[in-house]
């Protein structure tokens, strides 16, 4: 077993035990170290997912600034993955699904909808990821429409107010 594989295995143990900070450190060592690209890509994906999970933990503990920081770090790692790597279908599906959840948490519903659609089209055979992605994609789409409707309503109200002020002048 290579050193990268060993670190990856240990990091996954920490992840399973919800020890995300320790998992992130070990995933980072794999990504930054010498090892096969496929191991580095897995470590990078799991690092992004761990950052997301840690952000959610901080949010539950009402540590909003730390949560925001971890979620932003996760978003950057997901972007790095998309930019640099071609993933196997199951890993791609998992990454896009988690990215969609992350984007929902930071209220980027358009981005979330796209991420869930990428997860659906990733070629994954993971039925849980597929079914959840279909559900959350519809949910994100509904939130996008609601957000657009609120923006439209506000714009109409602003125009009406400006029009009435103009008539009074």
159 in a structural domain: no
**pTM listed for this prediction:** 0.70
131 in a structural domain: yes
18 in a structural domain: yes
pLDDT of res. 160: 64
pLDDT of res. 19: 94
Cα 88 to its chain centre, rounded Å, is 18
pLDDT of res. 136: 85
Number of domains the chain is built from? 1
Which residue range(s) make up the domain with 130? 3-143
161 in a structural domain: no
pLDDT of res. 110: 86
23 in a structural domain: yes
CATH of the domain at 89: 1.25.40.10
Mean pLDDT per segment of 10 residues, for the chain of length 169 residues? Answer: 86 92 92 82 90 91 92 90 84 89 84 90 92 86 73 61 61
101 in a structural domain: yes
């Amino acid at each position: 077993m290579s050193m990268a594989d060993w670190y990856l295995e240990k990091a996954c143990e920490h992840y399973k035990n919800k020890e995300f900070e320790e998992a992130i450190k070990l995933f980072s060592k794999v990504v930054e170290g010498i090892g096969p690209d496929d191991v580095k890509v897995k470590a990078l994906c799991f690092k992004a997912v761990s950052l997301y999970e840690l952000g959610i933990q901080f949010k539950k503990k009402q540590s909003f600034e730390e949560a925001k920081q971890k979620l932003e770090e996760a978003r950057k790692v997901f972007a790095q993955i998309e930019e640099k790597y071609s993933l196997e279908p199951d890993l791609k599906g998992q990454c896009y699904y988690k990215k969609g959840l992350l984007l929902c948490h930071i209220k980027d519903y358009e981005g979330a909808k796209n991420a869930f659609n990428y997860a659906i089209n990733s070629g994954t055979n993971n039925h849980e990821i597929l079914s959840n992605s279909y559900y959350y994609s519809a949910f994100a789409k509904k939130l996008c429409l609601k957000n657009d409707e609120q923006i439209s309503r506000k714009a109409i109200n602003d125009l009406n107010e400006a029009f009435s002020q103009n008539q009074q002048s």
